[in-house]
Amino acid sequence: MNNRIKYSFLLLFLSVLTLTAQSRADKIISEFKKSESPNVLVAAHRGDWRHAPENSVQGIKNCIEMGIDIVEIDVRKTKDGKLVLMHDATIDRTTNGKGKVSDHTLAELKKLYLKNNQGGDDAELTDQRIPTLEEALLAAKGKIMVNLDKSYGLMHDIYPLLVQTGTVNIGIFKGVSEPKQVKKDIKFMGKNIFFMPIVFSDNEKVVDEIKLYLKKVKPAAFEVILRKDDVLLGESDFIRKSGARVWVNTLWGSLCAGYTDAKAMKDPDANWGHLISKGVNIIQTDNPADLLQYLKNKGLRDF
């Protein structure tokens, strides 16, 4: 086989891989838009941090390999105006550096290494560097959706990068501003973005707020912070019939009325299953592989 033929086969192979990756993202996006679908989507909190540093490119790639639908990342701005992934305002917990993200240039941050898992004083250093948002988006492109946390005040910086990288279709913005203000704040991005309001079940006017969001913003989902058992989930049918999915975080008790990942690992039906029975159809978790397997076993994954 001559080099020309080998090169042609290589191009064909790469094109097939690209189409496969794009079709996976398209399937997730299509399913994300189906608010009344029985399929439950899985969002991985800060990436696959149990097997890679949190907010790392490797963590994103792990989520893609697992077949996760959405990866949550945290965005912050450096001293020289660059966008990087970092949950905390400081780099102390997750890197071998010290100080605020905003007090360092990108070049300075790129000299550091990420600590394994969630970091901390005893965590081992890895060979992973702090990713730029651009690097994260390119790793996710065509393969997984991205929940852009800590990004509401950075939308004017982030949106042009989404356009530049061709990832507008996979980005999910969220925030807690009141509906009229959100409508003004996101108007510059047009109608091709996904926005998810964060609502609190202990807000006495939360149902009215949701109705106003649906009228003004037409969100793709609502992130529901559950303070008490089943509060607000009685409205889940209304929310889903109005065109928005219902997202709940099972990371710790105050976010999900106590139906946490930790409890779900012992009794998934009484925790993840309970929330799903009440209409929740996106779950953000620290145990994405386990949740995904649970959903498959329950027949809640047919896409």
d(CA 172, CA 282): 13
Cite the beta strand spans of 87-218 per DSSP E. Answer: 145-149, 171-175, 194-200
Q: Round the average pLDDT of the chain to a whole number and report it.
A: 92
pLDDT digits (tens, 9 = 90+) for 176-216: 999 999 999 999 999 889 999 999 998 889 999 999 999 99
pLDDT of residue 15: 45
Question: Running DSSP on this structure, what letter comes out for residue 101?
Answer: G
Mean pLDDT of 74-101: 98
Give the model's pLDDT for residue 53: 98
List, for residues 230-264, the tens digit of each pLDDT value.
667 778 899 999 999 999 999 999 999 999 999 99
pLDDT at residue 229, rounded to an integer:
73
- Residue from 134, 133, 190 nearest 165 by CA: 134
pLDDT of residue 211: 94
Q: Per-residue pLDDT for 154 more than 50?
A: yes
Q: Are 218 and 240 in contact (CB under 8 A)?
A: no
What is the pLDDT at residue 286? 98
**3 pLDDT tier (thresholds 50, 70, 90):** low
Q: Which CATH superfamily is domain 3-74+144-297 in?
A: Phosphatidylinositol (PI) phosphodiesterase (3.20.20.190)
Task: List pLDDT tens digits, range 263-286.
Answer: 999 999 999 999 999 999 999 999
The pLDDT tens digits for 164-177 are 999 999 999 999 99
Decide: residue 12, CB within 10 A, 0-12 exposed, 13-18 middle, 19+ buried.
exposed
Least confident of 8-17, 108-117, 180-189: 8-17
pLDDT surpasses 90 at 153: yes
High-pLDDT (> 70) share of the chain, %:
92
Instruction: Tell me the backbone φ, ψ of residue 239, rounded to 5 degrees.
Output: -60, -50
pLDDT over 80 at 18, yes or no: no
Contacts of 39 (CB under 8 A, 6+ apart): 31, 281, 295, 300, 301, 302, 303
Residues found in the chain:
303
Average pLDDT of the residues in 83-111:
98
* pLDDT greater than 90 at residue 108: yes
Residue 138: Cβ-neighbour burial (10 angstroms; 0-12, 13-18, 19+): middle
Please give the pLDDT value at position 22: 56
